Amino acid sequence: MKINKLFIKDSAIQNKASDAFSYKDYVNNLKMIIEHNEAPFNIAIIGKWGVGKSSIINMLKEELSGKSEFKIQEINAWKYENTSLKKAFLKELYRNLNGKDDIVKDFKEMFNTSIDIKEKEETTREFISKNAIKTFVFLGYFLIVSIILYVMLMCFDLVSLWISCNNNFDETWRQYININNKINVYETIKTFKDKMFIPLLVVGIGQVSKFISAYKSKKIVKYEITSPIESTDEYEDKFNETLDKYNKRNSNFKKLVIVIDDLDRLSAKKIVDALDAIKAFVERRECIFIVPFDDTILREAINSKKLNGSNSFDGDSYLDKLFQFKIILPPLIDMDMQEYAYKLCKNEIPEIFKACPSFKGILEEVLIHPYVNTPRQIKKIINTFVSNLLIAKSRENKKLEEGLITGKTGLKVLAKISVLQTDFPEFYNFLLKDRGIMQNVLDTYYSNKGIIESDELENYGMHNNESFKALASFLMKTEYINADNLAPFIYLGQDSLGLSAGDEKQRSIRKDLLSGNEMDIITYSINNKLSLVDSNIVIQGIKESKTVEFQQALKVALQLSKYISEEVIMEFSNLVSNRLKLINEYGIEFRYWQVDYDNYLAIYEKATEKQGIEKTLLTVLSNVLSKNDNWKRKNGEEYNEQLFNKLIQEILEKSLEKNTILSEEVRVYIKGFINNKEYPVSYVINIYNKHRDLIKAYFSDNFYKKLCEYIASAEDINDRGSADMALQEIAVTIREEDIEKFSAPLPMIICNESYAIQVCELLLPVAGDISNKNGTYLVNEFISLTYSGRIMKAIANIIIDLNWNIADVDNNNLNNFIIRCFELEHFAEGEKLLNNKIDSSNYRLIDKVINTISDNCFVDSSYDNVLNNIMNNLTVEQLKHITDKIQANLAIVGGPVNSDLFNRSIIIIKFLLENKLSHKLLSEIVGNSMDYYSANYNYPQSYPQWAESFTEVIGSVRDIISIPKLEEYVMFLTTYVVSYNPNIMIKGLYYLGQKTPLKYDKESINKVIVNANTFETKVMAIDYLRNMKRSINKENDNLKDYSNFLIQNIDLDTNNILDDFNNIFESIDNDTVFEIAKYLKDKDTYNRSFALSVIDKFIIKGNKGCCIRELLLLENDNNSIIFIKDWIEFKNTDNYEELLISLINRISDEDTILYLFNLLKLVSYYKERFDKKLIANIINHIWTQFGDNEIIKVSQILVNEFSGFKFSNGKSVLNENIVEVFKKSNNEAKKSVLEIVKLFDFAKTFKDALKTTGFSEDERALIKEILKFR
């Protein structure tokens, strides 16, 4: 097998024959653009990497090759990334156009700095002027330095001599110039000469020697420097120069096609620099630049430069300006890609089909997935797969099981891994660490509907949602392709347990297992789970552990229970359970306290063979819940009471979390402990708060009772909120099972308003079902507290619902509770307590409440319903308390009377009348007051307000007052009171009504009719007379007076007064009928149908027309006219014609214009059914008998009421006089007449009249203007 026939080289198409994607179509378009457009212009070939841009360029070059009018220059921008593209372009172009291979010298001249060195002989003058001055300056400098150094040395010697001799300066100087002295001037000169002057002299001589040597040669060197091409203009000039030379040599040359390839592989800065380089050459007439690129990359590059302020265009604008033509390459079609891949393999590597017979199916099913969209991508995937396949084949029967990878399924898995290696390399790196990450991707994709946050994308090695979507799509497509263990497909050489995990890793896990070190093993977990291989190593280690290592291995195994792979967790749990069973059976020592309790539960949950682990669980619970002294902390220290309680709480919480898996034996054990009195309630509450759903299973009525005692035991409980919540929920559960056990402990927690309302809410659904005994206990606790408004109402309602015995209830607290209920305005609840819970025989026990209600009722109407509803239950003593208050309120007083108090007393009297026990008390009180009132004739005058109010009191008890007293009272009213204050008399009779003694009826009626002069007394009089209709008749000769009274006051109560007429009178005279009709026509706040029936009942048939005529003579609005119309039609809609004809025919010169207008309005309602000539007669009468104002008014009526009406036979009547009416009218009336002419089509009459009648010029002009005559 030849390896070179199994791999595909990634290179672009070189000719048409290799075109598998119809690139020739794009090539033809490019060719047409180049041939048929005048240069210069630029062409962009836009497409993603690998879609065939380079292939299209190669095919274009093939098309244009050999044509002398075209010259093609191709430059790879990526190749020249680190050099100037302008320089590279010019080099390549220069080489291409000049046909030279060795053009190094030319390039050096163009692009490098050159230095020209020239020498010449100097003249003596030139040399001296240039060098002599420098030499003399140096010698002068030498002399000065020598002098300065000597002086310094001399000063140093003098100072040294002065210090050593300690003389003055003169003496020191004399010694210094003395040659016999050790330090003297001669020594100084000698030292200067030897150590300073001679070295300086050597330097001076060297400088003089250089001067002499230079004079001998006398040569000058001249440097000439030439700069390289740098500016855009210089590059452009050089380009033009090169192209011009080529033009002269090649007469057929027309266009230079320049291809800049791989531009989009450059950095952003280099891309922009390259585009700027192109701009330097685009203006040349022969130039056509073709640039293939990925436009996304170029736009981002240009925009990034724009952000730095180096470009004024955005990416799109820049590219649009630079490129006049764009060839856009779309993504390749999926089916095209698969077909291409297959043909490519058939042509390039046909041996692969022999090496892998199912390769075609793998290619289509796995390798060429929907997101493969370029030929380059296809080649990379195929090469990766082939490489993996060859390695796998070479390792079969060595490091790999035969057929594991090269089998049907294995090849698909290998193909899947190959795609991940090629297209999703970063994700593949994550796969190396976590084999379950593929499923995680799919779970994340489904749960987030394809939209993933950027920080989560990083967990899968993805950078954007598009790449993540491609990965998820591939994994979905190949989800069915999987292996239990991916390691052999990834590493191509591991197939056993040791190889899967690694030999070193396997040894490490086993060592940690036997040494009791679970923490190191846990570090191998990913997402808190050991791999399947690592889990199998643990299982194998447990199985292989010997007696000595048994306890440590089992302890580690228990601690690893949550980390074991789900695929073997059942096997693992059964293994551990069986090992624990051996410990229990053989009494092997085991430190149960070294294992976390939740790990015991984890094994218990997953094991199907539970005997060993269940026994262990009960052992642990027994030791912990009994606070066994042998139970230690993990570090071996002992537990104190507080730590034990916390541990118990923790274990109970964890047990209840796993309640569904626990056996009945374990549950019973835990329940017995929870309801044990010794364990602190506060801890149990904390446990309960996390497991409220297990009330029935664990938190029974014993704990409920303990909880109530706990809440009632102390004022300050740290966990009161939790205790309250637990009480609420547990109580509800107990309530469903046993109401008596539920209600019995509740009284003990009714210690304040908050708990009272809490208990109230608990009792609400079952209050009526609670026994009398428990209900009485609850009521006594409830009424012992004082409540705010809202709470009071709820408590009262619960007490109403509970069963209780008043004899066993604290009487004082009950009275105070009910009174408080009323004070907070909970009247309905207070009333229910009195009516529903206390029978009449026990009302003696609530005197305090009754007296409070009756006292308040005199000043507050809110108590009315309460007093009224309990009235029949009151005792005589309680009634006497009320009547005594009434008697005091009715006492005669001078000055203003408290009318509110009187009114309240009257209302209460009405309530008292419901209880027959009160009648005697009331009759005595009121009767005595009446006797006193009647005996003092001056009271109505002296105490008018009191007398007026007292009449209502008497009226309220009229049914229980004797007839003689009533007769005496009426006689007093009609004889004496009327003379002082007739209003009081009327009110007194009004309140008596039909209780007026018969012998005083006639006189009372007459006095009321005569004296009712105010609105209030008139209203009362109407009502009183209506009640006294028994005595309004012919015999008493009061019908007429009553009729007149009703007519005078009909506006006070129209409907009822009409009813009075209808019911009391058999007939009334026409004047009365007219007065009624006259009133009714101007009103609309009554029952019209009934009103018409009343007046029609009493009108004499022949007098109806007269009455209507009289109504038409009055001022009438539209409502009045409608009333008259309705009366005419009442009971006979056709009755109108005869009546109206009669009225029209009786029109005379004496009729008022008001009557005529009203008649015309009335007739308008019948205009379509009426004789038109009769209507015209009314109009004509008004026209001829009245003046301008009336003509204007009748015109308005015609416009408003007769618009659209056709006069027909009445037209001739109007035509007779209309012209004369026009002529006699003033200008405004004339306009009104002409409007009527126009409205009713009388224009012909005026057109004819214009020919014969003598109209003035103004009249003619007006006629023509309004009637539109020419």
Strand-strand pairing, 70-76 and 255-261:
parallel
Residue 369: strand, helix, or coil: coil
pLDDT tens, position by position, 508-553: 777 787 777 888 888 888 888 888 888 888 888 888 776 656 778 8
pLDDT score for 655: 87
| Range among 267-281, 370-384, 448-462, 701-715 with highest mean pLDDT value | 370-384
The arithmetic mean of pLDDT across residues 715-731, rounded, is 79
Is the pLDDT score of 269 beyond 80?
Answer: no
**How many residues does the structure list for the chain?**
1270
Q: How confident is the model over 655-699, as pLDDT tens digits?
A: 888 888 888 888 888 888 877 767 777 777 778 777 877 777 777
Residue 194 DSSP one-character state: I
Q: Are the C-beta atoms of 606 and 573 separated by less than 8 Å?
A: yes
pLDDT at residue 986, as a whole number: 92
- Pick the more confident residue, 1002 or 92: 1002
Quick one: DSSP state of residue 568? T
- Check residue 1 and give its pLDDT: 40
Q: Average the pLDDT over 747-770 and give the result.
A: 91
pTM: 0.45
Nearest to 331 by CA among 291, 375, 298: 375
Read off the tokens for 501: 């995990």
Of residues 249 and 853, more confidence is placed in: 853
Q: What is the pLDDT of residue 200?
A: 63
pLDDT at 772: 93
pLDDT for residue 129:
62
Q: How high is the pLDDT of residue 513?
A: 79
The confidence score (pLDDT) of residue 503 equals: 42
Comparing CA positions, the residue from 727, 808, 797, 718 lying closest to residue 771 is 808
Q: What percent of the chain has pLDDT over 70?
A: 85
Residue type, 647: L
2 pLDDT above the threshold of 50: no
Given this model, what pLDDT does residue 1209 score? 85
List the beta bridge partners of residue 666. none
What gap in Å lies between CA 110 and CA 94, rounded to an integer? 11
Query: Which has more pLDDT, 570 or 888?
Result: 570
Between CA 672 and CA 351 the distance in angstroms is 78
- Check whether domain 22-113+230-328 has CATH 3.30.70.360, yes or no: no
Distance separating alpha carbons of residues 337 and 359, to the nearest angstrom: 16
Lowest mean pLDDT among 117-126, 735-744, 1004-1013: 117-126
% of residues, the chain, pLDDT over 90: 12
Binned at pLDDT 50, 70 and 90, residue 1013 comes out as very high
pLDDT at 801: 93
Residue 704 pLDDT more than 70?
A: yes
- Of 259, 247, 323, 249, the C-alpha closest to 285 is 247
The average pLDDT across 569-594 equals 86
For residue 479, the SS3 value is coil
- Is pLDDT above 70 for 53? yes
Task: List all residues 6 or more positions away from 936 whose beta carbon is below 8 Å from its beta carbon.
Answer: none
Contacts 24+ apart (CB under 8 A), 638-644: none
Choose between 1065 and 1226: higher pLDDT: 1226
Measured in degrees and rounded to the nearest 5, phi and psi for residue 333 equal: -70, 140
**Predicted confidence (pLDDT) per residue in 748-758, tens digit:** 999 889 889 99
| 1128-1139 tens-digit pLDDT | 888 776 777 888
pLDDT at 1119 over 90: no
Q: Taking the domains of the chain in order of start, what are their residue ranges?
A: 22-113+230-328, 119-225, 341-493, 1134-1270
The least confident of 199-208, 680-689, 755-764 is: 199-208
For residue 442, pLDDT beyond 80 = yes
Measuring CA to CA, which residue among 406, 404, 411, 566 is closest to residue 494? 404
Grade residue 204 by pLDDT with cuts at 50, 70 and 90.
low
**At 63, which helix (H) or strand (E)?**
helix 53-64
Query: Average pLDDT, stretch 367-377?
Result: 83
* DSSP category for residue 381: H
- Map 671-699 to HEC letters: HHHHCCCCCCHHHHHHHHHCCHHHHHHHC
Q: Tell me what the pLDDT averaged over the chain comes to.
A: 81
**Which residues, 6 or more positions from 546, have their beta carbon under 8 angstroms from its beta carbon?**
none
833-840 contacts at long range (C-beta below 8 A, 24 or more positions apart): 833/796, 833/799, 833/800, 834/866, 834/870, 834/873, 835/869, 835/870, 835/873, 836/800, 837/799, 837/800, 837/804, 837/806, 838/806, 839/873, 840/872, 840/873
Q: What is the pLDDT of residues 945-1001, one digit of tens each?
A: 888 888 888 888 888 888 998 888 899 889 888 888 899 999 999 999 999 999 999
Token pair belonging to 813 = 């607290």
Task: Band the pLDDT of 898: cuts 50, 70, 90.
Answer: confident
| Rounded CA separation 215/486 (Å) | 91
Give per-residue pLDDT as tens, 1171-1208: 888 888 989 899 988 999 999 998 999 889 888 888 88
